[in-house]
Amino acid sequence: MPVEIPKDKWTGKVRTVTLGATAAEGGTRTKSIVVGGDTTMPFMQFEAPTAHTPVIAIEIKSRKPDDWSSLLEETWGSVMSDPAAWAKAAEAAGADMIVLWLSLEDTADDAMRAVKSVLAATGLPLAVYGPGQVDKDNELLVAVSESANGEKLLLGICEDKNYRTIAATSMANGHLITARTAMDVNLAKQLNILISDMGLPLDRVIMDPTTGALGYGMEYGYSVMERLRLAALQGDAMTQLPMMVTPGFETWKTKESKVGVGVPEAWGDWKERAIHWETLTATALLESGASIVVLRHPESLKRVRTAITELMTA
């Protein structure tokens, strides 16, 4: 007698969010990306089909970073000094979207020039993040938002101390925002409420609940994301947003990925270890509910893509 698999029935649904505007939508992107729309836990295909395939983004910088692993420098080479060339290389490597991080050294003109060059170099949807200091983020992102009006950029990172300015410029210029909080369900929900109260529709917000790398807090981040997804499916409107995390940023700052000299021989080949670290972190976070993962290494992208394909067809 066949065994019937028990199925959960959920009343809630993750919101659908569209990133990037095509020419028909008033932008210049060759395609838009749709994330969210899920009605069950990740990849539970026997309960309900996954609404939209998870997205893999590649992180690039407006200026060549001086704190990245030499493995990444060897991989990307000279394009790291030119964000437009880097974006093209990332697209060629198979990225679904680009995440451009601006630098503290950038002026507003520098930031606008970098964004325009990337938009011209690739038709992929684009996220633009400030360097991480409130005043500088506001200065650069307002300029970028106005200069790229209508492109449906994903602007970030909105946190409790700077969400007002970024949300306001996004509303005025037709963009989306990333709402980032520490690993805490209530903090994530509270920031979403504050942003919603400003009048920005929640279908223009992506949650970043943050995470750690494998062995550095990923397990706790996983549990927070899982709880956010469960709350969304149970009908909590302020948690029904797609989630985006940055395993590339987290894993490539760990000793296991960044350093190849002076580590135990038992750790094995440095390059394989580093790529495994990024791949395993990203794959686990996809299984906890991430709609977008941001990576740094093209080989990690290939491996995560294979994992997504298998999970989508399982």
Q: Are 157 and 129 in contact (CB under 8 A)?
A: yes
pLDDT of the residue at 1: 65
* pLDDT of 306 higher than 80: yes
Quick one: which of 185, 186, 162 has its CA closest to 177?
A: 162
pLDDT for 2 beyond 90? no
The torsion defined by the Cα of 83, 89, 95 and 101, in degrees rounded to 10, comes to -20
Mean pLDDT confidence for 169-196: 97
Q: Which contacts of 73-80 are long-range, i.e. CB under 8 A and separated by 24 or more positions? A: 75/297, 75/298, 75/299
Residue 258 — very low, low, confident or very high, per pLDDT cuts 50/70/90? confident
Q: Is 16 helix (H, G, I), strand (E, B) or coil?
A: strand
Residue 49 placed within a domain = no
Give a yes or no: residue 137 inside a domain. yes
The string of pLDDT tens digits covering residues 268-279 is: 999 999 999 999
Q: Is the pLDDT of residue 206 over 80?
A: yes
Per cent of the chain over pLDDT 70 is 100
Beta partners for 33?
Answer: 19
Number of folded domains that form the chain: 1
Residue 3 has pLDDT above 90, yes or no: no
Tokens coding 282: 């990203």
Q: What is the pLDDT of residue 4?
A: 81
pLDDT at 310 > cutoff 70: yes
What's 252's domain CATH number? 3.20.20.20
Q: Is the pLDDT of residue 159 over 80?
A: yes
Give the tens place of pLDDT for each residue, 69-101.
999 999 999 999 999 999 999 999 999 999 999
- Mean pLDDT of the region 177-184: 97
Beta-carbon contacts of 166 under 8 Å, excluding residues fewer than 6 positions away, are: 137, 138, 141, 155, 156, 158, 177
Classify residue 46: in a domain, yes or no. no
Within 10 A of 235 (CB to CB), how many other CB atoms are there? 12
Q: Is residue 163 part of a domain?
A: yes
Whether 299 is in a domain gets the answer yes
Kindly state the tokens that stand for 114: 């970098």
Q: What is the C-alpha separation between 228 and 131, in angstroms, rounded?
A: 27
Strand pairing category for 154-158 and 243-245: unpaired
Mean pLDDT across the chain:
96
Q: Which two tokens stand for residue 157?
A: 């990172």
| Confidence class for position 6, pLDDT limits 50, 70, 90 | confident
Nearest to 107, CA basis, from 66, 147, 167 = 147
Whether 314 shows a pLDDT value over 80: the answer reads no
pLDDT category, 110, cuts 50, 70, 90?
very high
Tokens of 279: 């791949």
What is the pLDDT averaged over residues 148-165? 95
Structural element, H or E, at residue 156: strand 154-158
pLDDT at 163: 95
**Nearest 5 degrees, angle CA 294-CA 238-CA 159?**
50
Distances from the Cα of 24 to the Cα of 124, 173, 221, angstroms: 15, 17, 38
313 in a domain, yes or no? no
pLDDT, tens only, 272-302: 999 999 999 999 999 999 999 999 999 999 9
The structure tokens 């940055």 sit at 246
Percent with pLDDT over 90 in the chain: 93
Averaged over 7-14, what is the pLDDT?
Answer: 93
Classify residue 181: in a domain, yes or no.
yes
Domain range for 166: 54-308
- What pLDDT score does 101 carry? 98
Q: Is residue 236 part of a domain?
A: yes
What is the reported pLDDT for 37? Answer: 97
